[in-house]
Structure 1
């Protein structure tokens, strides 16, 4: 009962606006004191906290986080998106909904090169939303397309969310194996999740585009016919100049990880250095710009690691109060076995996404539910991709979807909140359809890792 109260109190404190790291750590400390006074918590659990914290600081996988953040912030500030959007908009010229399709292509490239949802949504909102509304696009659709495309950085590698999920699932998988008495040398790496997410991520982009083309066919009044561009050598040079640098950087980073030539941390370092070179070649890397990139990187990284510290304390106290055993028993007793347990967990995470951020869910909820699910026989890579897709919806679900806040902050007054909420609903449904497809065909997530790593 105390473990359940701990979880409910954390959610309540978060709703009052307390920063996540302090809500997790502070509430856990109060319950640790209460549990030790009432005899419900063995204080030996807290003795493991220093090792946990030093383990986080010494974790080579988590070192990829600041490097990927630096790569994303550098590319976002080098005005790469503006050149890409201009070139792709001309490439799709003449097609109804051509600008919408170009937004999705550019958003996909930005997702794969930056991985930062806020930067992608704000950049696309500033560049493309006024243009789409000026050309007669339905404001609700335009807002929904930009928000949904901006969240692709959650699932398309290299993704910071997958790096964090990989670390959590690796610990959960090892814990599940120990509980089952298995000592398999297999682990869950970030590279496994990157490989597993590639095909579902691209399929999700394809579903967005199919939905857009369907609307352009059935409801052409929602879109505008673009001006056809003349294809000549000058346009080809502009297009290649805009496309080749980010694609080359993505191939270098992802290829090094998937082919086993570098660890995710090493590949992230290559990506950060490559982003600096691109910014330097574009003459957008002044000393003040570099200082801004480094400052933003430190801010984001500090936020993530402070949440990690708070989550480490929370998980220790929660486990000491018997919460993990309680959840394991609940999931085992559910009707429907592993299918029923998985449906319940995915449903709860989806609902929590309405009020909590993906980082909070990753570090608070996933460590509680992942070990029992893995003990029931789920594939860890498939589970990681399902969780990634589910957490992606948390950016779109009102009232606290962060992508909605990002776009609302840069949108013109003509775009109301009601339009924004109405516009994202079909894209949330598309993400749920992608999750259903992945549930029916798990090989969508497991086939590529099996081919690359022989898992």
Structure 2
């Protein structure tokens, strides 16, 4: 009767695809399904199992690692209000302006810096879309290239730490591992850094090659305009704009990698640093603090409600024997560990076309983690692969959130199909990175 757990998984997945609220679908359907099974097949599920649920929920609420989520969200939103992105984009555009495709390269570099400072995809894509997209189009950039660069660069915060995806992924892997295969958040941050920087490098390489082959798609900025911007205090401008975010990055990531602070403690440093940076930029006020706190509460509540629903789903799924049934099914099918990993990566990639990364983490990851542990696979390596794969969920049509964010702020002349076409090369680059790390795991472990 373990196949009942698989039926539960399929029902939940279908309802989420149809657009029902994720948190209430995960929790509500799981409880209703368990109640039905307890009536018609009482030997398969005892409703007294739900006595375990309050302790599990309190375990989520009291989870020290998850305290980093609201603090990183606060840091990202506060930095958005500080005008950091606008200053970075204006300065970087002039620094790379003489290079053909330099404006697009500046967007990638700023996206990487914002990723290491904030990690909030929506804020990054919207900010860069508002500031850089009209400028790129005005200077003759091809629409597909401009939109593809902005959307892909805006999602770098999902793989370059500090990343909310990495925090949630590490916590979900740990809660699903049952004492084996646990992943430290700091170690996952460290392991994801090199693949993230490699992704940035490949984005820039693609832009340079495309700009060289098709010069009309990415013209350079006139030398007179660059000279006018630089003026007499250009050095001071660069130092002021770059120094503050770099210092914040060093404080947050440096404290984690040096072992001085845990990711949760570092998130507190980042939140305070964001406030200080906002004060320095003269953008801080009580109304701004109130708005940031409101947005932080809203996003944090969404994440934790989904997490509580996922906790209920996992309890019912495991009680019905779903994880054991899947493990037995995989073993009996004689799938090798590598083939199973490739299969999971394919499922996550396809799911990213239709549902959000949070939903994938809380639905798919708890189901497959025990099987990875049974295969004795390194969950740090698997975690980075999942994180890179999840990043594509923001870019893949028809429901890529980065595409929606960009379309919402793009000029009316920019069509949806142009945004979809523009993102294809960057999705191919991401798939290539996943394949590279899949067959060359040492890329992940360079930090060791």
- TM-score, normalized by the shorter chain, greater than 0.5: yes
Q: TM-score, normalised by structure 1?
A: 0.94
SS at match of 2:233: helix
1:98 — aligned with what?
A: 102
- Is the counterpart of residue 208 in structure 1 residue 203 in structure 2? yes
User: Which stretches in structure 1 are left out of the alignment for 5+ residues?
Assistant: 178-186, 451-455
Deviations 1:329-361 (A, max 9, x none): 233234451111111111111111111100001
SS at match of 1:46: helix
SS at match of 1:399: coil
Tell whether the 8 Å contact from 1:41 to 1:321 is kept in structure 2 after alignment: yes
Aligned positions of 1:44-63 closer than 5 A: 44-63=48-67
SS at match of 2:284: coil
- Is the counterpart of residue 117 in structure 1 residue 121 in structure 2? yes
RMSD, aligned CA: 1.3
2:92 — aligned with what?
A: 88
1:188 — aligned with what?
A: 183
Tell whether the 8 Å contact from 1:155 to 1:197 is kept in structure 2 after alignment: yes
Tell whether the 8 Å contact from 2:194 to 2:446 is kept in structure 1 after alignment: no
Match of 2:81 among 68, 77, 81: 77
Range with greater deviation from structure 2 (7-16 or 85-94)? 7-16
1:382 — aligned with what?
A: 381
- How many aligned positions are there? 440
1:166 — aligned with what?
A: 170
Q: 1:175, CA displacement in angstroms?
A: 4.2
Q: TM-score, normalised by structure 2?
A: 0.96
Q: Partners of 1:320 and 1:286 in 2: how far apart?
A: 51
Match of 2:68 among 64, 73, 82: 64
Q: Partners of 2:312 and 2:141 in 1: how far apart?
A: 49
Tell whether the 8 Å contact from 1:104 to 1:209 is kept in structure 2 after alignment: yes
Q: Partners of 1:439 and 1:330 in 2: how far apart?
A: 23
Match of 1:226 among 221, 226, 250: 221
1:233 and 1:261, CA in 2 relative to 1: closer, same or farther beyond 3 A?
farther
User: Which stretches in structure 2 are left out of the alignment for 5+ residues?
Assistant: none
Q: Which consecutive segments of 4 or more residues in structure 1 shift more than 6 A?
A: none
Q: 1:234, CA displacement in angstroms?
A: 1.0
Tell whether the 8 Å contact from 2:157 to 2:163 is kept in structure 1 after alignment: yes
Tell whether the 8 Å contact from 1:334 to 1:340 is kept in structure 2 after alignment: no
Q: Partners of 2:156 and 2:421 in 1: how far apart?
A: 19
- Is the counterpart of residue 217 in structure 1 residue 221 in structure 2? no
Aligned positions of 1:227-242 closer than 5 A: 227-228=222-223, 229-230=226-227, 234-242=233-241
Match of 2:150 among 146, 152, 155: 146
